[in-house]
């Protein structure tokens, strides 16, 4: 059984990163400014995007795991 890796995002609630198959980060130009974007591909194949503060919290959570 997979151990849960919970991440609480400011606007989207809790995310369990244990079921992430792939996590991609990049800077995007949005509303005349650069912000961090994160796309997670889950183990069931679905994709979910996170932007700004949410993406930064996911980065911090993944860095803590190292």
pLDDT tens profile 18-28: 999 999 999 99
CB atoms within 10 A of CB 40: 19
Domain ranges of the chain: 16-64
Q: What is the pLDDT of residue 57?
A: 97
Q: Are 50 and 58 in contact (CB under 8 A)?
A: yes
Distance from C-alpha of 47 to C-alpha of 43, rounded to nearest angstrom: 10
Q: What is the pLDDT of residue 31?
A: 84
Q: Is the backbone of residue 15 left (phi > 0), alpha (psi -120 to 50) or beta? A: beta
* pTM of structure: 0.89
Distance from C-alpha of 18 to C-alpha of 63, rounded to nearest angstrom: 14
């Amino acid at each position: 059984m997979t151990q849960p890796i919970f991440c609480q995002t400011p606007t989207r609630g809790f995310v369990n990163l244990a079921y992430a198959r792939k996590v991609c980060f990049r800077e995007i130009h949005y509303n005349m400014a650069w912000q961090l974007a994160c796309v997670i591909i889950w183990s069931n194949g679905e994709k979910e995007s996170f932007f700004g503060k949410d993406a930064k919290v996911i980065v911090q959570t993944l860095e803590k795991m190292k």
